[in-house]
């Protein structure tokens, strides 16, 4: 995937990113992919699985404080009800296509039984989220299998994260252009301490005319030009699902010590970052967000107590609510940048039912220079 990113092209300004400008800038967080791109006669496979380990493989048994928020519920994130109840996330996070949630869920359980000591002694509620790739991928072919989820988890690493058509984002479309996987991060100073906020998203949302970059509505111009280039033949093509359909899953990570309710507040701020890129939140788009804090290791566990075992109280530290604003800003900025990183990484793709172009980056830069809109 391309390593030229939105910030390199001047599409993002401000904020202080972490070393790799990725969710993996949060210490301990690891990301892995399993990408499936195959042509089988008339069938085009363009899909995969993304895995996020909040504390890496070594800390997979240690829960993190977490919160969830649904901007629009036309989608799925398994395990979210328990996160909302307990404020705790004790499993990997996987993202795939809509019809492969079951396969990824089974793969996550198989991996945890093998990789996490004692996992078989407790119940397992893996978090698996989805976005719909049925235009570019043969989604009904059920090509993702449990072993692909295991492969994504085994591939999880810290450091730079590939973007674009990789993992669960392989067959996705964003604002009418090639979508996919993207990430960004921000460093945040709070008193004498510095923390990192990282965002990872699987972008499959937005109607082309909505696209906004640096506050400039470039989408209407790009849509008019695309329609003119397509000519009258476009009217005879099969009617596709409405643009804007598809969904976006966003995962926010931080090493700032937060309470579960504060994680939920962080997840809500994702909506503002997405809005900066233009979306109004389509009815056909499942926009579901998860935020977690890797601080307070050892707290928020939910284990079967042994008979006569002493009760030991959890001990949590947290950023004061009145000091949360800088963290909120980091979520908004990193979410906006992650979306633009997806679009910049996107390349033309021939798919199962249609093809989709990559974002015409130089045209966008021209429109920004002329302050179009």
At residue 104's C-alpha, the angle toward residues 277 and 118, to 5°, is 120
Catalytic residue among 25, 138, 255, 287: 287
Buried b (16+ CB within 10 A) or exposed e, 30-41: bbbbbbbeeeee
Cα separation, 339 vs 199, in Å, equals 10
Report yes or no: 206 and 176 within 8 Å, Cβ to Cβ: yes
For residue 52, which of 118, 104, 119 has the smallest C-alpha distance?
A: 104
Q: Is residue 287 annotated as a catalytic residue, yes or no?
A: yes
Helix (H, G, I), strand (E, B) or coil at 119: helix
- Written as one string, the DSSP assignment of 127-187 is EEEEE--TTTS-GGG----HHHHHHHHHT-BSS----BSSGGGTT-EETTEE-EEEEEEEE
Helices (H), 231-324: 260-276
Here the tokens at position 36 are 């499936």
Tell me which residue of 177, 145, 185, 181 sits closest to 165, measured CA to CA: 181
Q: Which of the residues 88, 100, 282, 285 is marked catalytic?
A: 285
Of 210, 302, 291, 295, residue with least CA distance to 257: 295
Q: Which residues contact 84 (CB under 8 A, 6 or more apart)?
A: 67, 68, 264
H-helix or E-strand containing 226?
helix 219-230
Structure tokens belonging to residue 233: 């033949």
Over the range 247-263, which residues count as b (16 or more CB within 10 Å of their CB) and which as e?
bbbbbbbbbbbbbbebb
Residue whose tokens read 């990824």: 104
Kindly name the residue from 247, 271, 282, 293 that is annotated as catalytic: 247
> Is 285 tagged catalytic?
yes
Percent helix, strand and coil across the chain, each rounded to 5? 30, 25, 40
Catalytic residue list: 247, 285, 287
């Amino acid at each position: 995937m391309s390593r030229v990113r939105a910030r390199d092209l001047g599409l993002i300004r401000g904020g202080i990113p972490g070393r790799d400008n990725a969710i993996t800038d949060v210490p301990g967080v690891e990301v892995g992919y399993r990408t499936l791109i195959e042509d089988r006669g008339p069938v085009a496979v363009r899909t995969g699985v993304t895995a996020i380990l909040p504390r890496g493989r070594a800390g997979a048994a240690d829960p993190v404080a977490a919160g969830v928020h649904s901007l629009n519920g036309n989608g799925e994130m398994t395990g979210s009800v328990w996160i909302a109840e307990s404020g705790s996330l004790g499993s990997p996070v996987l993202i795939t296509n809509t019809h492969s949630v079951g396969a990824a869920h089974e793969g996550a359980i198989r991996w945890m039984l093998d990789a996490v000591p004692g996992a078989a002694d407790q119940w397992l509620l893996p978090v698996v989220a989805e976005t719909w790739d049925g235009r570019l991928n043969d989604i009904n072919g059920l090509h993702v299998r449990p072993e692909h989820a295991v492969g994504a988890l085994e591939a999880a690493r810290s450091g730079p994260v590939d973007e674009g058509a990789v993992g669960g984002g392989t067959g996705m479309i964003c604002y009418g252009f090639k979508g996919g996987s993207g990430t960004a991060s921000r460093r945040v100073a709070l008193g004498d301490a510095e923390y990192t906020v990282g965002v990872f998203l699987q972008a499959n949302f937005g109607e082309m005319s909505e696209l906004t970059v640096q506050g400039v509505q470039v989408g209407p111009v790009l849509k008019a030009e695309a329609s003119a280039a397509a000519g009258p033949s476009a009217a005879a093509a099969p009617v596709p699902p409405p643009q804007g359909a598809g969904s976006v899953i966003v995962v926010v990570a931080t090493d700032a010590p937060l309470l579960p309710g504060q994680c939920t507040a962080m997840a809500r701020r994702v909506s503002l970052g997405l809005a900066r890129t233009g979306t109004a939140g389509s009815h056909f788009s499942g926009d579901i967000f998860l935020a977690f804090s890797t601080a307070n290791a050892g707290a928020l566990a939910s284990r079967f107590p042994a008979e006569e075992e002493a009760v030991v109280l959890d001990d949590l530290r947290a950023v004061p609510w009145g000091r949360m604003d800088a963290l909120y800003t980091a979520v908004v900025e990193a979410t906006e940048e992650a979306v633009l990183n997806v679009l910049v990484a996107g390349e033309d793709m021939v798919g199962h039912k249609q093809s989709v172009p990559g974002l015409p980056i130089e045209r966008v830069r021209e429109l920004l220079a002329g302050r179009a809109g």
